Structure 1
Amino acid sequence: MADYLVINAYLVIDRGIEIAGGWLAVTDGRISAYGGPDVLAPSAARTIDAGGALLTPGLINAHHHMYQNLTRAHAPAVNGSLFEWLTTLYPLWAGLDDENVYLSTFVAMVELLMGGCTTSMDHMYVHPRPQLIDAQFRAAREIGFRFHATRGSMTRSVDDGGLPPASVVQDEDTILADSERLVRGFHDPAPGAMGRVALAPCSLFSVSESIMRRSAELAERHDLRLHTHLAEDHDEDRYCAEVYGCTPVEYLERVGWASHRTWVAHFIYPSKAEIDRLAHAGVCAVQCPCSNMMIGGGSLDAMDLRRRGMRVGLGCDGSASTDSASLWLETRQALLLGRYRNGPASMTARDALDLATRGGAACLGREDELGHLRVGACADFVIWQMSEVALAGALSDPVEAWLRCAPAVAGTTVVAGRVLVERGEPQIAGLGDILRAHAQAARRMQRLN
């Protein structure tokens, strides 16, 4: 007997496998069977009627900075360039402690669940106090969210020609020792893992060449993935040319990061030859459409990168730049941006869904069990909720309607076989208390008290 059965759904199992009026069975946190109306479904302890709605794999967020929801839409920073935005907010983020990291992570994960995201990484690179990532894992475990922490780092402050204040950077030995500690305490390499750790020096202009090399060596030793921002801004190009005498991609190759372990955020300004080289090396990239458009810095061409052999995922990026955390919104924006850039035949809703599912799983190194709903996959999926008014007349293609006939929200979100959003509402104990505490922490950080 299955733990539960979803019936009467338009199932998207994987690219090329869709079933109208289908059913999906879940046993022990895994997909145990699926079928159409002409196939007998197994008995189950609980049945969920999807009411004919679209059911897809859970979306995967491949780039985020969760702590930034404490400074959303912060007025002095909203109209600056990337570097201006960073230098305005770094002094505020220097006030991070384990309590407001816990609160911001908790809120971010609930928000992601409501937008159909079932797995997310987080790039935590500001460390004014020790052991902040521990608080993130505490939030993830309390919620039941599938979480990949990336141990970010910065070594170069304003005193060394960088952007952040000295209070949020660390020395290399401290960074590497804490990385080892996190791997020992939180990294689960087993199939179905709810928590993993990757290494993520922040950017080429905020860390030393040595920490890039040493992080790559540590990742090789522990079989970890590597993440950083790359080719995001023309200021980065100029900085890299002046300091290292090369382009950002050439620098990445020089420090030993051009490998299958690596996924990079933004990747807006590489040359075609550089794209081809990193694609051949197995590097993945993340598009963050809303954040890139909000800051006005351009965005990668997802379909061109895919044609060149590079796997591409989607990310919300920081909640102080987007300023939301909805993977559905990012997926829709990726579709619109792709078609605006290259024409109406260049990208479909299914292409965008593939970025948000299979593409994100590739970035995290988990294509075998995430981003699809084949038998044996993790039971991470979403039943989408849209109003009858929005869907009126949309009769021929539920997947296209999902992104075209906006807005959509997660009616039901399931992670590892657990229902965490139901009828559009988070099923999270104590959320009201968390939101009140978060509001107080945000006021303190933005110096509004």
Structure 2
Amino acid sequence: MAAPRIVIENCAIATVDGHDTEYASGHVVVAGNRIESVGAGKAPENLEQVVRRVDGTGHLATPGLINTHHHFYQWITRGLAQDANLFDWLVTLYPVWARIDEPMVYAAAQGSLAMMVRGGVTTAMDHHYVFPRGAGDLLGAEIRAAQEIGVRFTATRGSMDRGRSDGGLPPDFAVETTEAALIATEAAIDTYHDPSFDSMLHIAAAPCSPFSVSTELLREAAVLARRKGVRLHTHGSETVEEEKFCHELFGMGPTDYFESTGWLGEDVWMAHCVHMNDSDIAAFARTGTGVAHCPSSNARLAAGIARVPDMLAAGVPVGLGVDGTASNESGELHTELRNALLINRLGAHREKALNARQALRLGTYGGARVLGRQDQIGSLEPGKLADLVLWKLDGIGHSSIADPVAALVFGAAAPVALSLINGKPVVEDNRLTTVDEDAIARGTRHEAQRLARIVAAD
């Protein structure tokens, strides 16, 4: 018996395949959780088991957006330290984050995921590295929230083992011992990681950053991840202060330090990578190390402009990241398509830096490549998983732009008429179908206020 089919037709299509194939009016057929066919014109006649037909007139179909860097817990600390650089921002907020607990993280994950998914994200990622003692099952809370919404999820088990007494920034009770961090990371992999083709949940190992973890933790996490066959993630080369820190402490820049600890390779991706010289970019290209580009957060914290055009020209895998919503309060990835294009045009390459289709590729196939899932998601091609978005472009915000990809990238955030994840509708008419958005809004406000009261009482 044929798998149930969903047919979408009469829409513009940007496949983001290897040839950037586009159709002015075409169709996508989904069978079960796979894309069965994509092409021009109407869908094939006489298809069996068609459970739904969608008229996509005035819409654009694209692969679902893929977020490659985030910190969900920050949803309940938005709007703080508004005029700070990264280090001052961290000094201000670590004492706040050190008070989070399981209900807070669950609510924050719900808010973060709901905002992203409603805005076209079909694969989410989170880097959680704050584990205060006695706070509960924080990683499990995030995974539960992702499963309830129905999003494909890469959860990274982060860690820090350098508290304030060891020269780090966070309070000592918010960090772990090196051994405890490694044990917990391995347990998370064993409990949750699903390596199957259509997996809804991946786990990666993710010590926080060079200035919050020991060299031993970095080295041993890389060994652990490769023994377990999972990916590696961290922050890298985000600020000039980090560059200075690495030279003072290790006698080398961040990229050379990462390479000395086993942290360059096709199974590694790093967030930000703003301050990269030519040799750094060459090292990433040579080793296949990926980058999560977070333009809004980089601007919010005055970190600088990443050299994305140079990275792409060198062959570095690059995707987009929301980053935590304490440094990107919008909390959704469509903003990053637009800001990646606009902010990079302020750099040396000016108007030639990025175009609309390159920006869309960063947010789709580029993200899939960074997460090691380019064979499964990131483009609309037969055999790939049915993660796709139908964007409404015939409304007042977009109808006068003839090029639908330009309308999506240059224009205002486009309403999501339909989003499928693993072949299942999760957004209809710009509303989530799997959870109650209003209840999530109330829950996140309650937990943000509870956290603020706890901090105020300290």
1:357 aligns to 2:364 (yes or no): yes
What count of residue pairs does the alignment treat as equivalent?
446
Pairwise CA RMSD: 1.5
Q: Does 1:277 align with 2:283?
A: yes
- In structure 2, how many angstroms separate the alpha carbons of the residues matched to 1:27 and 1:419? 13
- Amino acid across the alignment from 1:427: T
The residue type equivalent to 2:383 in the other structure is G
Provide, for residues 298-331 of structure 1, a one-character-per-residue CA deviation record: whole Å limited to 9, x for no partner: 1212111010110111000010001122111101
Aligned residue for 2:352, secondary structure, equals coil
Distance 1:39 1:130, change over 3 A: closer
3-state SS of 2:241 partner: helix
* 2:347 corresponds to 1:343: no
Cα contact 2:58–2:394 (8 A) shared by 1 = no
Q: Is the 8 A contact 1:162 1:205 kept in 2?
A: yes
Query: For the residues of structure 2 that align with 1:161 and 1:34, how far apart are their CA atoms?
Result: 55
Q: Does the CA-based 8 Å contact 1:157-1:206 persist in structure 2?
A: yes
User: What corresponds to 2:269 in structure 1?
Assistant: 263
Q: Which moved more, 1:209-218 or 1:265-274?
A: 265-274
Distance 1:248 1:409 in 2: 40
Among 288, 304, 311, the residue aligned to 1:305: 311
**Match runs of 1:131-142 below 5 Å:** 131-142=137-148
Secondary structure class of the residue paired with 1:106: helix
Q: CA offset at residue 39 of structure 1?
A: 5.7
AA matched with 1:107: G
Native 8 Å contact 2:66 2:367 kept in 1: yes
Equivalent-residue separation in structure 2 for 1:171 and 1:386 (angstroms):
51
Provide the residue aligned with 1:103 in structure 2.
107
TM-score under structure 2 length normalisation: 0.94
Shift of residue 49 of structure 1? Answer: 1.5
1:319 paired to 2:325: yes
Give the aligned partner of residue 426 of structure 1: 432
Whether the 8 Å CA contact 1:263–1:363 is kept in 2: the answer is yes
Give the distance between the partners of 1:181 and 1:147, measured in 2 at CA: 18
CA distance in 2, matches of 1:441, 1:407: 28
What SS class does the counterpart of residue 446 from structure 1 fall into? helix
Matched, 1:114 2:118: yes
Q: SS state of the match for residue 419, structure 1?
A: strand
Deviation of 1:130 after TM superposition, in Å, equals: 4.6
Deviation at 1:38, TM superposition (A): 5.8
Other-structure match for 1:183: 189
- 1:35 CA displacement: 2.0
In 1, Cα distance between the equivalents of 2:442 and 2:44? 48
1:446 shift after superposition = 2.1
The residue matched to 1:399 in structure 2 has which SS? Answer: helix
Mapped partners of 1:408, 1:226: distance in 2: 33
Change (3 A) 1:28 1:262: same
Change (3 A) 1:348 1:437: same
Look up the match of 1:123: 127
8 Å contact 1:198–1:227 — kept in the other structure?
Answer: yes
Q: Distance in 2 between matches of 1:172 and 1:95?
A: 21
Give the conservation status (yes or no) of the 8 Å contact 2:146–2:152.
yes
Percent identity between matched residues is 38
Residue type of the alignment partner of 1:10 = A
Superposed counterparts of 1:2-401, under 5 Å: 2-15=4-17, 16-37=20-41, 40-41=44-45, 42-43=47-48, 44-74=50-80, 77-128=81-132, 129-341=135-347, 342-386=349-393, 388-395=395-402, 397-401=403-407
- CA distance in structure 1 between the aligned counterparts of 2:110 and 2:365, rounded to whole angstroms: 25
- Ranges in structure 1 where 5+ consecutive residues have no aligned partner: none
8 Å contact from structure 2 (residues 360, 409) kept in 1? no
- Asked if structure 1 preserves the Cα contact closer than 8 Å seen for 2:60 and 2:393, the reply is no
Gaps of 5+ in 2: none
Instruction: Report the TM-score when normalising by structure 1.
Output: 0.96
Residue 259 of structure 1 aligns to which amino acid in structure 2? G
User: 1:269 deviation in Å?
Assistant: 0.9
Q: Match of 1:125, as an amino acid?
A: Y
Report Cα offsets for 1:344-376 as digits up to 9, x if no partner: 233210000011111111111000011101011
